Chain A
Amino acid sequence: MTQTPPDLVLEVNNIEVIYNKAVQALRGLSLAVPRGRIVALLGSNGAGKSTTLKAISRLLALEDGLLASGSIAFAGQDTAQLAPQQLVRRGLSHVMEGRRIFEDLTVEENLVASTYALSGRAGAGRPDFDLVYEYFPRLHERRRGLAGYLSGGEQQMLAIGRALIAQPTLMLLDEPSLGLSPKLTEDIFSIIARINAERGTSMLLVEQNATVALAVAHSGYIMENGKIVIDGPAERLAGDQDVREFYLGMGASGEARSFRELKHYKRRKRWLS
């Protein structure tokens, strides 16, 4: 509620979101991303993670969602008056859930479209397609093909590649590992870690793969039902008993649980009590 401390690139304060004038998806959610840090946001299906990201990037209106109360500051500035594309041009990139690539455009045209993020930004470098192709050689092979015909994983690569072109200062990543093979997931997270280390890009990372998310993140939040239920440094979260049980799939003894020995009844999560 006081002034934004200078080292927070993103500050979300007590926001509420309502869809279709009827469904409340977020109920007073607050979080912050320190500059240069990777922050993970975990939570079960329907907790409101994607909604949070859409509220930040101001893409809610397109889905009939309304930011009913609360405030969001990006780089110290309140975003309420900014249009989505203005935010992007100031360095806030959102890689949306479900890939959302331009299917009718070729791979390369997808990247070209992304250069709009650099319009009017002082100090932006030239768009670097080669960097993307270097990270994802597969895209280079398919660069003249229509993006709509790429496999699921290839589309995910393209979505991330597009965000790279935008040279953001804050990247919102919504399930980047969705549909990626384990190896590629690891590769992509190395890239994420690299971008973060090399360029100091801050990231807010929504992930279902808690293992990689907590491995790459500095700190994390866990949300349920539109609210944050716990937060803390990534190591501490990874050590939390419920997180281990519900997100990392480890038994009480700390051993990886087998999927064959699942119980039909589950322990209630501590944070729901």
Chain B
Amino acid sequence: METTPPRGRPAAPPLLQVDSVTLAFGGVRALSGVSFEVQPGSITAVIGPNGAGKTSLFNTISGFYRPTGGSIRFRGREITRLPPPERARLGLARSFQNIALFRGMTVLDNIKLGRHAHLKTNVFEALAYWGRARREEAELRRDIEERIIDFLEIDHIRHAPVAALPYGLQKRVEMARALAMQPEILMLDEPVAGMNREETEDMARFILDVRAEWGATVLMVEHDMGMVMDLSDHVVVLNFGQVIAQGTPAVVQADPEVGRAYLGSGDVQSLRAKLQAAARQGVAA
């Protein structure tokens, strides 16, 4: 299996190493022997058909699932047994496929929450709201306002309760919260699902900017092939819990197995022709 260094960068020791990870739920094998590496500063995409195990892989990396076998290393350190909050503290930040915002909080509080693991205020300071509590909160607020809210262009909703926001904005708040976690590695699970082209482009721009301005490494799961192929340095293809291919977008795209299992095609016109053909065939049958 080949691993290509990210475009235009010298090879560096990998930031994240997933080594023959296996995960089973009763009879269902969600992951079997998955291995790949994420290079620092890269954008790595995990793609694959529905049910291939992508989200399970993310859950395993962030510690929500314990793998049945294999190991995960972050900056060379073994984290397979580390509880999730510890991993968050190390800088493994993520967003969720099924939006997991805290519906009882405002956008701002949701984002603030992301910083939790990096703050130090204890109960007594909190009850008195004095000293460190006051300082930390002020600092956090400024940081979030200036670096995240402005950056993601969500200033108009900062005091809105998240529950009533439209889907696309909720996704953006998810991203904001992940950014507030001070990510070393930012894991995005389907960041542009439910977005139209325009919004997808916005999100793509954010992702590029995050890497450029924050120096974060990005690991994402996404079904929008246009975006994946354009943005990623490295693509990992999962099918039935196994890595069936990985490499640069060009390499992956050329892999015939990947095409069969996964990739769709075309613009409106050709797609229309294809769909109509399918329908006619159905009627005839």
Touching chains A and B, CB distance < 8 Å: yes
Binary contact track B83-102/A, C-beta < 8 Å → 1, others 0: 00000000000000110000
* Residue from A50, A98, A152, A197 in contact with B282 in the complex, judged by beta carbons closer than 8 Å: A197
A32 to chain B, nearest CB (A): 22
Whether A42 and B196, one on each chain, are in contact in the complex, defined by CB atoms closer than 8 angstroms, is yes
- CB contacts (< 8 Å) of B169 on chain A: these are 45-46
- CB-contacts of A37-63 with B (<8 A): 42-47, 50
Contact assessment for B264 and A183 in the assembled complex, using a CB-CB cutoff below 8 Å: yes
Task: Point out the residue from A183, A211, A256 that lies within 8 Å of B261, measured CB to CB.
Answer: A183
Count contacts on B: residues with CB < 8 A to the other chain.
55
Residue of B nearest to A156 (CB): B50
A18 at the interface (CB under 8 A from B): no
Interface stretch, picked from A84-92, A105-113, A257-265, is A257-265
Identify the stretch in B70-78, B107-115, B134-142, B224-232 within 8 Å (CB) of chain A at 4 or more residues. B224-232
Query: Which among B200, B201, B264 has the highest number of chain A CB atoms within 10 Å?
Result: B264
**Contact A178–B231 (Cβ < 8 Å):** no
Judge whether B50 and A180 touch: CB under 8 Å: yes
A149–B166 alpha-carbon span in the complex (Å): 25
Asked whether B168 lies within 8 Å of A46 as measured between CB atoms, the reply is: yes
> Which residue from chain A places its CB closest to the CB of B230 in the assembled complex?
A259
Answer yes or no: A179 CB below 8 A from chain B CBs: yes
| B216-265 interface with A by 8 A CB criterion | 223, 225-227, 230-231, 261-265
- Chain B contacts of A50 at CB under 8 A? 166-167
Q: A179-B97, A182-B263, A182-B264 are in contact. Are A247 and B227 (CB under 8 A)?
A: no
B275 to chain A, nearest CB (A): 4
Do B282 and A208 touch (CB < 8 A)?
Answer: no
Q: Which of A20, A197, A214, A246 contacts B268 (CB 8 A)?
A: A214
Would you list which residues of chain A between 250 and 273 have a CB under 8 Å from chain B? Answer: 256-260, 262, 264, 266
User: Inside 8 A of B265's CB, which chain A residues have their CB?
Assistant: 182, 186
Complex: how many Å from CA A211 to CA B264? 12
Q: Tell me which residues across on chain A come within 8 A of B272, comparing CB atoms.
A: 214-216, 234
Report which residue of A44, A184, A198, A208 has the largest number of chain B beta carbons within 10 angstroms of its beta carbon. Answer: A208
For B35-51 the 0/1 string (1 means CB < 8 A from A) is: 00000000000011111
* Docked CA distance A198–B231 (Å): 40
- Find the residue from B52, B167, B280 having the highest chain A CB count within 10 A: B167
Task: Say yes or no for B276: interface residue by CB 8 A criterion.
Answer: yes
How far apart are the CA atoms of A32 and B110 in the complex, in Å? 40
B124 contacts chain A at the CB level, 8 A cutoff: no
Q: How far is the CB of B80 from chain A (nearest CB, A)?
A: 23
B13-21, B178-186, B187-195 - interface stretch:
B187-195
Give the residue name and chain of the B residue nearest to A151 (CB).
Answer: B51
Asked if B204 contacts A151 (CB within 8 A), the reply is no
| With A44-B196, A180-B50: A185-B264 Cβ-Cβ less than 8 Å | yes
Name the A residues within 8 Å of B283 (CB-CB): 194, 197-198
> Given A182-B264, A183-B49, do A194 and B193 touch, yes or no (CB 8 Å)?
no
Q: Mark A111-136, 1 if CB is under 8 A from B, else 0.
A: 00000000000000000000000000
B267 adjacent to A248 (CB under 8 Å):
yes
Pairwise interchain contact A44-B199, C-beta atoms closer than 8 A: yes
Whether A194 and B282, one on each chain, are in contact in the complex, defined by CB atoms closer than 8 angstroms, is yes
CA distance A246 to B277 in the complex (A): 28
B166 contacts across to A, CB distance below 8 A: 45-47, 50
Tell me the minimal C-beta distance from A241 to chain B in angstroms.
Answer: 14
Report if A231 contacts B (CB, 8 A): no
Instruction: Check: A189 CB closer than 8 A to any chain B CB.
Output: yes
CB of A23 closer than 8 Å to a CB of B:
yes
CA distance A193 to B277 in the complex (A): 9
Is B198 an interface residue, CB under 8 A from the partner?
yes
Q: Which residue, B50, B200, B261, has most C-beta atoms of chain A within 10 A?
A: B50
Q: How many angstroms from the CA of A179 to the CA of B191 in the assembled complex?
A: 10
Tell me if A93 is interfacial: C-beta within 8 Å of chain B. no
* Smallest beta-carbon distance B95→chain A, Å: 14
CB distance from B112 to the nearest CB of A (A): 23
Given that A211-B271, A259-B230 are known contacts, is A194 also in contact with B278, CB under 8 Å in the complex? yes
Could you pull out 28 A-B pairs where Cβ atoms are within 8 angstroms? A20-B164, A23-B164, A44-B198, A46-B169, A47-B166, A152-B55, A153-B50, A156-B50, A178-B193, A179-B223, A181-B47, A181-B50, A182-B264, A183-B262, A190-B275, A193-B276, A196-B279, A197-B279, A197-B282, A197-B283, A208-B196, A210-B196, A234-B272, A246-B196, A246-B197, A247-B198, A257-B201, A259-B231
Shortest 9 CB-CB distances between A and B: which pairs?
A: A153-B50, A45-B168, A182-B264, A46-B166, A259-B230, A194-B282, A190-B278, A215-B271, A193-B279
Known contacts A151-B50, A190-B278, A196-B279; 17 further A-B pairs (Cβ under 8 A): A20-B164, A23-B164, A45-B199, A46-B168, A46-B169, A47-B166, A50-B167, A179-B193, A182-B225, A182-B264, A185-B264, A194-B283, A208-B195, A215-B274, A216-B275, A247-B198, A249-B201
